[in-house]
Amino acid sequence: MPPRSDEPRRDPTGSRRGSSRGAEPREPGVGGISDARAYTPRGRTIREGGAEQRRTPRSSRSGDPFRPALQVVDGGRATRAGRREPATAGESGRAGRRTAGGRAGVVRTVSTRPVHEPFDDEDDPPPRRRPGPRRPAARRPVRKPRRPPRLGDPRRRLRLATVLALTLFASIGVRLVYLQMADSPAYADGGLPNRIAVVELPAPRGAILDRTGEPLAHSVEARYVFADPTRVKDRFATARALSPLLGVPASELADRMRRSKRPGTDIDLQFVYLARGVEIGTAKQIMALDLAGIGTHRDERREVPGGDLAANMIGFVSQDMNGLEGLEAKYDDVLRGQAGKRTYEVGLGDLAAPIPGGYSSTTQPKPGSSLQLTIDRDLQFMTQRILAKQVAQAKGSVAAAVILDVPTGEVLAQASQPTYDAADPAKVNSPADRDDAATSFVVDPGSIHKAITYGAALQEGVITPDTTFPVANTVVLGGVPFEDTHHANGRVMSIPGMLAFSSNIATIEIADKLGKDRLIDYQKRFGLGQPTGEGLPGEASGRLLPADEWSGSSYGSVPIGHSVDATPLQMAAAYNAIANNGTYVQPHLVKETIGPDGKGTPSAAPATRSVLSPANAADLRRMLEAVTTVDGPDGRATGLAAAVPGYRVAGKTGTGLRYDNGKKQPGEVGSFIGMAPAEKPRYVVAVFVWSPGGEGGAVAAPAFREMMGFTLRHYRVPPSLTDKSPKFEVFPR
């Protein structure tokens, strides 16, 4: 602090400041610090001010909000309570002289220690004085009155707040529009897999029809039962309720309804099949139970109207309508069609229903095509009935029958015994009962093979219809003896007589003149050693003994139909070539394919080739008639039981062996293959019967007679003219 001056400070009037010593007495209220403190900023004492406030009405007592500013303008200081602070003595004097601009008659008191309020910042602190002689106080310059503070405009604040709010809402709106228009597919797709349900729309399977358009197998409307595992509340209770209606064990149904994920994803599986092909009435009962997570939808079921009619040939399908055997399996891609699919959004929990306006996509199913076969349903039925009746005489037997249309090679009937109900394929004694014996039954054809040997010899000029030579009773080749059942005892026999009595020795001698190479060549021309390509899956090809594998005994066994593997269908096709003037026609089952639009597409034309000349084929047919007609003092032909009254029949009996997986089976295979009318054949019928006891020979010929007789009557073939039937002499003189 600067040193205090010994001379008291004086105000402009000459009076000393800060001390009352040595001063003249003053009137109360004039001068003096204590007196100044007793006055209010407006020159009133506190008591006077209080009294005046009490006298002033309350309405006028509230101060003017701008009063502190006005007091500053008047020369005083604004206090915290809005009162004016007293000015200094100098300022009071100046204020007295400024009565014209201030308030007249107001005595301003001076405080020795100015009171600084928080808002009193207009005066800077006085500078510190340096030690030295004190100079008279200079007169302060007169300050310009300060302008009152500028107050805020509420309208501007309102405008600013409005602009900020609108900007905020505009930003939110722009973001919402962007999410809805630009990013909405991405956000929607992100949760879409959890809401997607997929329902398969099965495609109707094509029918299998006979040659007249009658159904052998077709699909009918049904229902399938499905479950949504995410909605099933109690899978065990649900399974117990469904088991009696579906015929499926409850444990299996409960296992199907267990929650699981879609393969390769973390998404819950929402669709599983519980049963297929359920009858519509049963489906209604299931829906009446109102089980959570259980539903039904349109499906189909395969029906076979004939039960076992052509079952071994047609085959059957699975519950999913996939072909498993027979024609159903061979032509599965044609019959099955393409299933459709419906994909849609569903809600979650109790709202598991399609969402209106949600994602939905439907691929319509494409029905499968139908197959029209060459089979005649009525003829097939009678063929199966006759075969079953005849085979009943030979227990434990396996039999096959084939009926061919000669000019076209179409299969009119193809029966197997035993058979089964294609509508319930599980009810069989053995899976082999479902096999088609005509294409899978591999046998040593036996004597029916002799027609091939004689046909090759005729075509190659080794023999003629008039050829005769002496026939011995036995011959030994490679250490193996061969003999005849009808002993000729060295007598001269005719070619028809050799066929009528089925002479092994005569056939071996003719084959020896023909040679093994040419015999093998004709075997192939007649269709042996390779599948016919009829149309059934799993058709056996048979086997021919190559020339380099022949042994000494092969020269005796091969010509008479041993050491040769063939199927009934292959042998029937070989005889059909003889009946068709020497032209081989590939046997076939499928006539045409009918698309969903009803338009038919014929099957490819069957393969054909010439084997015999028409003349040689006619001569061979005439010689084969001896098998069903020769009956005299020299003996009876082997095929008299196959004769059809009123018709000329050419054919041949056979006794062969059966092989299963390369192993010879006990018993024998009896067979008969023939054609009628022999003068101009229309149909070929082949019958093969294997029995462990060897009774097949006694069954095959009678079965042929009944089948051929019905076929000729069914197609109204006129009877033959008996007066033109040939007369045969077995032992010409």
Distance CA 627, CA 648 (A): 11
Structure tokens at 162: 């409005």
Within 10 A of 246 (CB to CB), how many other CB atoms are there?
17
Half-sphere exposure of 557 (CA within 13 A, CB side): 19
The catalytic residue among 219, 369, 416, 447 is 447
Rounded to whole angstroms, the Cα distance separating 48 from 109 reads: 15
Q: How far is CA 232 from each of CA 226, 236, 254, 349, rounded to the nearest angstrom?
A: 11, 10, 10, 11
DSSP states along 87-109: PPHHHHHHHHHTTTTS-TTPPPP
Structural tokens at position 576: 């059909």
CA 719, 723, 725, 727: dihedral to nearest 10 degrees?
A: 160
Pair of tokens at residue 111: 């405080």
What does the radius of gyration of the chain's CA atoms come to, in whole angstroms?
A: 61
447 as an active site residue: the answer is: yes
> DSSP state, 605?
P
Classified as helix, coil or strand, 633 is coil
Rounded-to-5 percentages of helix, strand, coil across the chain: 35, 20, 45
- Is residue 503 within 8 A of residue 493, CB to CB? The reply is yes
The CA-atom distances, in angstroms, between 613 and each of 185, 197, 580, 582, 592 are 77, 68, 10, 6, 31
- Token pair belonging to 730: 């077995």
Inter-residue long-range contacts of 544-548, CB under 8 Å, 24+ positions, other chains counted: 544/520, 545/520, 546/520, 547/516, 547/517, 547/520
Active-site residues, by number, are 447
